[in-house]
Chain A
């Protein structure tokens, strides 16, 4: 029996939920497996192209399977170009083999979905088609954002039909908790839909402090360490693009750290114009006076590291970014949050119900 973990947008918390469900259900004596049909975070590991998310989960859940069995398709430039040219991609066979193999070894197979129910259609890998073909149950994750969430969840539920088991709201702000409890959950109940959990926004889980970042990067703190570096960073951006592009990207991302070359004054200024917590300047180059003055004025921390941007990002990613729950402490905390706020037992029995 397969549980597809879907989400309405990126960074909803699919990896965390998969990790938590896998851990909690195993504790209950269930054999849990994991497969991710399409990986979108290509990284090289021991000379092989693998998916960053899938390998993390494989490690954390101690899945004894080769990477291609856990994530049979990792997106590459070659794959995308072949899709553009209308070539036959032969992906379904690979996916099918991986799913059947994993299913055979588990009682509950968790399937890691893409960012939303559309991602992958271009490559001939429609998430909805997958869910139907493999007869999956679906739990939907949504980063709670008020009525925008409602549109997304209702639309997804409609598309999924009876396979939709329920929704888990993630990163619910303290101010929203009462509203979710008193208004949102009854709203869904009134429509015969389950809210399986509302996980509160967690400062430790969702971010990293400037101090922790500086420590882990062996960076020197040029400014902004005054408050003990307690400011929290939620996202990472690499400033390697041109300024206009950078500004566009930067505007869309709040509470971020921007990693860029020390001489990229333009990118640094663009970052300071937007919601940035910290600048990480690479190449051992100190910020110029203007940047320093503006950063102080805006209360933005500046760290400098001797390494180049690439190396810095590699280290950064182990801490934050797309894969932010990499530290053991955060993994534990994440699992505890799910345990406390999601009806995992209920979800398990729903999964076990015959279709």
Chain B
């Protein structure tokens, strides 16, 4: 928990305040003074003197009163020295603006560790280092070297990039968008995005939380915190570095598809965080959440004075799955008499080009109290008769007390500039184009569903490591193995309730025929068993649909010869003869361990769906039941699992169960780095699944 003094200090000390306006130490001090911080502000500078009418103290010890918050704008060593001294004066929180820590590498890394230790032993929580600082408009606190202070509002923003903080701040000031807190995280030596989110969840002055992250160090903590926070307030994040994926060599399907960005996406989704793709997106969503209530339903009414923008809005809505509201008879009756005969009463409602403000007002006031409409989008294109300002005012006053979210898109620039200011002042979010307005509405809708949905129960707690699995993995590790093929992995998966087709091992063609007889199956599959061959089909090591003794005997010769020829140095143990499972659909189920978030589970349909189309879903383990269900339904090829062209629907329940079993396995055995069950055959509903092939990569657990 962060100390309240970080955001609401009674007094602030600026270590490194200076009269030189070129220096950051001056900027921070002057921001504190200019933002009108009501409590005492102490500047510390060994040279003494005066700054902006305040006395500069030559040392920390010279400060006459108590200090709640310390801002450090001095070289690293002076900070390490200053922390315990200020702590002695009551400091609970510190902001380290100075750079020269981890970001410079080498000695900086050690300094950052020392900073963290100094803070911990002094009982101080520290923001930064290498950050812009912090602003709390509700406490008239600007402890940063930003240019200017944004207006008071209910949006809070944290950022791992100081530069982006500056840009957002400039936008807020320019557009007159109210902000509550600005937090520049810097290197996150101590205070992380999770700490900030938890604090803001409790902050009565924050309605929506925005953030820009580049990396999250403690993925598990973040997931946990975001779950707690997002059921109370919306969290919208922009994550940079989406193309850094693939930098890690991976030896499995899952590993190569599960770049780090997939892990972030999965964790955001599971934590209820809305992900903005761009900074523009972030602002658009922020405006909506900040100014309007969350919608209770999805039916949208579009009000416009021109056909084109109305269609653009309707198209976007349709694309995002937002239905346009039916215009009920009662509403029709109320507005029909007030509109010209050429107006359209379908949705979009087109009050046509010559509409003055009164037509907008009439329609909007008639909408109030209609239970069949959940959201309204007001569109305006400036035409000869249009009254942009008056229409803006009408929109603001009609929407007050309507109880449903209202969005606006007044298109144009010169003739709508003033009306935009009116809308913003009246808390109607206005977007330059209708599509962006609809996207914002869509995000709010998603959030409202997410919040009202049952909170996912945590993944099941472990019932302990099954002894068989423990033994198999232990022995492989003891033998210095890094990969386990089908033969070894099978035992581990069976311990977690996976079933495999009946199978028998054979090392000669005669033994293969014997296995075929003893299995008594109509059709069998033959696979090479060789510890060095993991991708069996690549070397001709698999034959399907063998249905006679002759075929089996011949397949043995073919399979072993092919591997002998194409992989001359591989040791061939023999083959596995397996009952052929008919009538199933091929799936792939896998896990790859993400350095930040832990086990990342993957699900998709096998073959080209995963290899070419990369149509896969990811979630971070442990999986809740809902997570698993969502994974199955999220893939684009999901309709192929449901009844399709007369085929029976697949056993979806069994897939969900399988996902949760792999989730449990990955949590129980941190030794497993990667795991592929590929293919996993799903049979028709009620008949379960069969793992056909599997492999794992293992390493000593950290």
Binding site for B on A (CB under 8 A): 41-44, 47, 49, 52, 75-78, 81-82, 238, 240-245, 249, 260-267, 269, 282-285, 288-290, 308-310, 313
Contacts and interface: CB of A to CB of B under 8 A. Distances in A.
Nearest to A79: B508
Nearest to A309: B538
Nearest to B558: A44
7 contacts: A77-B561, A240-B566, A242-B482, A242-B483, A263-B257, A283-B611, A309-B538
B249 A269 contact: yes
> Across chains A and B, which 10 residue pairs bring their CB atoms closest together, nearest first?
A77-B560, A42-B561, A309-B538, A266-B251, A240-B538, A288-B246, A242-B483, A241-B532, A240-B535, A263-B256
Nearest to B250: A265
Nearest to B485: A242
B243 to A, nearest CB: 7
Contacts of B508: 77-78, 81-82
Given A77-B561, A242-B482, A265 B539 contact: no
Interface string B247-291: 101110101110000000000000000000000000000000000
A76 B561 contact: yes
A310 B539 contact: yes
Interface in B601-657: 611-612
Nearest to B255: A265
Contacts of B558: 44
B534 A242 contact: yes
B119 to A, nearest CB: 38
Contacts of B612: 284-285
A310 B538 contact: yes
Interface stretch (B305-313, B568-576, B661-669): B568-576
Nearest to B569: A249
B534 A241 contact: yes
Contacts of A288: 246, 256
Contacts of A77: 507-509, 556-557, 560-561, 564, 572, 574
Contacts of A75: 564
A78 B612 CA distance: 38
Given A242-B483, A310-B539, A52 B565 contact: yes
Contact of A78 (B509, B537, B611): B509
B57 to A, nearest CB: 54
Contacts of A313: 566
Nearest to B572: A77
A264 B611 CA distance: 11
A77 B611 CA distance: 33
Contact of B507 (A81, A238, A260, A285): A81
Nearest to A266: B251
B592 to A, nearest CB: 12
Contacts of B507: 77, 81
Contacts of A265: 246, 249-251, 255-256
B246 A44 contact: no
B100 to A, nearest CB: 32
Interface of B: 243, 246-247, 249-251, 253, 255-257, 482-483, 507-510, 531-540, 554, 556-558, 560-562, 564-567, 569-570, 572, 574, 611-612
A307 to B, nearest CB: 11
A282 B537 CA distance: 12
Given A77-B557, A308-B538, A41 B565 contact: yes
A288 B533 CA distance: 23
B537 A241 contact: no
Nearest to B608: A284
A42 B564 contact: yes
Nearest to B539: A240
B303 to A, nearest CB: 47
Contacts of B255: 265
A320 to B, nearest CB: 14
Given A75-B564, A76-B560, A77-B507, A310 B253 contact: no
A268 to B, nearest CB: 9
A81 B574 CA distance: 9
Contacts of A78: 508-510, 556-557, 560
A245 B538 CA distance: 16
A49 B557 contact: yes
A76 to B, nearest CB: 6
Contact of B534 (A42, A238, A240, A269): A240
A310 B540 contact: yes
Contacts of B533: 240-241
A242 B535 CA distance: 9
Nearest to A241: B532
A263 B246 contact: no
A265 B259 CA distance: 12
Nearest to B530: A241
Residue of A43, A77, A82, A309 ringed by the most chain B CB atoms within 10 A = A77
Given A77-B572, A78-B509, A309-B538, A243 B251 contact: yes
A241 B246 CA distance: 21
Contacts of B253: 263
Contacts of B510: 78
A241 B539 CA distance: 10
B565 A42 contact: yes
B45 to A, nearest CB: 49
A102 B193 CA distance: 83
Given A43-B565, A78-B509, A238-B566, A308 B537 contact: yes
Nearest to A85: B508
Contacts of A49: 557, 561
A353 B11 CA distance: 112
Contact of B247 (A261, A283, A290): A290
A264 B508 CA distance: 31
Contacts of B570: 241, 245
A42 B559 CA distance: 11
B166 to A, nearest CB: 31
B672 to A, nearest CB: 15
Contacts of A249: 569
B228 to A, nearest CB: 36
Contacts of A267: 251
A244 B479 CA distance: 14
A44 B562 CA distance: 9
A243 B565 contact: no
B535 A264 contact: yes
A263 B611 contact: yes
A261 B251 CA distance: 11
Nearest to A270: B249
B482 A243 contact: yes
Contacts of A284: 611-612
A217 to B, nearest CB: 15
Given A76-B560, A82-B508, A238 B567 contact: yes
B535 A261 contact: yes
Given A285-B611, A290-B246, A76 B482 contact: no
A238 B556 contact: no
A81 B510 CA distance: 11
A51 to B, nearest CB: 10
B508, B535, B536, B560 pick with most chain A CB within 10 angstroms: B535
Contacts of B250: 265-266
B495 to A, nearest CB: 23
Nearest to B253: A263
A290 B507 CA distance: 41
B241 to A, nearest CB: 13
